[in-house]
Amino acid sequence: MQRWVILDVGETLIDETRVWSTWADQLGIPRLTFMAALGAQIAGGGQHHDVFAWFGIPNWREWAGTMEGAYAGFQAADLYPDARRSMTALRDRGYRLAIIANQPAQRTAELRALGVEAEVMAMSAEMGLSKPDPAFFARALELIGSPPPGEVAYVGDRVENDVIPAAEAGMRSVWIRRGPWGLIQQLPPGVVPALVVDSLDELVERIDEAWDGEPKPN
Ligand SMILES: [Mg+2]
């Protein structure tokens, strides 16, 4: 039996500080103010795009093209320092890797250009499905060849988008507590991830715990 690790992108592999800074700059809002409002939105359990309502910008989607131009895609400095080395370490330990996340379609090529490779890479925009839709997780399993869900760990930073729906799909949920969601969100009563880590480096050291401490069969 082979074990898979599916990685989320935002705040799992990529530090999104520049995404939100670019939004603030484009909208003419001081970065600190915009980030604080985003944090308040997350703490209140709202969707992150509701942050635009705080600033009276209901038509924020019209800015998306301008925003993307200013952001100019993922850059090397956006990768968390442990992103590539942890993927190499997991691969060396025999884990099969996929990257399947809520992102625009072009992020796959941008990640590859930064040297981030996985056996399967798929973004929500090209899948036509996004988290937390159960269909997204069902499709993710199909994309990696339909292994038993219990042989798959899904690693992500958001409780409602990653941890809960991945567990409901029968996968082993790994909550990575970094980024604003990972820091601010709390687990609802009764929700117990298979593993909680602060970094991908820690994931490499502790991944067997997601399988109840059973070492991966060779
Ligand atoms: Mg994320």
pLDDT tens digits along 105-125: 999 999 999 999 999 999 999
Over residues 124-141, mean pLDDT: 97
Over residues 37-54, mean pLDDT: 89
Q: From the CA of 7, how far away is ligand 1's center (Å)? A: 9
Report the predicted TM-score, pTM, of the whole model to 2 decimal places.
0.96
Q: From the CA of 132, how far away is ligand 1's center (Å)? A: 11
Task: State the Cα–Cα distance between residues 107 and 95, nearest whole angstrom.
Answer: 23
Over residues 195-201, mean pLDDT: 98
Q: From the CA of 122, how far away is ligand 1's center (Å)? A: 14
Q: From the CA of 218, how far away is ligand 1's center (Å)? A: 30
Q: Tell me what pLDDT residue 50 has.
A: 85
For residue 217, is pLDDT > 80? no
Q: Tell me what pLDDT residue 218 has.
A: 67
Q: From the CA of 95, how far away is ligand 1's center (Å)? A: 21
Q: From the CA of 180, how far away is ligand 1's center (Å)? A: 10
Q: From the CA of 70, how far away is ligand 1's center (Å)? A: 21
Q: Where are the domains of the chain?
A: 4-15+76-211, 17-71
Over residues 70-82, mean pLDDT: 97
Residue 210 vs residue 58, higher pLDDT: 210
The topology (CATH level 3) of 4-15+76-211 is: Rossmann fold (3.40.50)
Cβ–Cβ under 8 Å, residues 74 and 110: yes
Q: From the CA of 101, how far away is ligand 1's center (Å)? A: 8
Residues above pLDDT 70, as percent of the chain? 100
Task: State the Cα–Cα distance between residues 218 and 203, nearest whole angstrom.
Answer: 19
For residue 143, is pLDDT > 90? yes
**Amino acid symbol at 84:** R
Task: State the Cα–Cα distance between residues 73 and 66, nearest whole angstrom.
Answer: 12
Q: Tell me what pLDDT residue 180 has.
A: 97
Over residues 44-67, mean pLDDT: 88
Task: State the Cα–Cα distance between residues 27 and 102, nearest whole angstrom.
Answer: 23
Q: From the CA of 93, how far away is ligand 1's center (Å)? A: 24
For residue 5, is pLDDT > 70? yes
Sequence length of the chain is 218
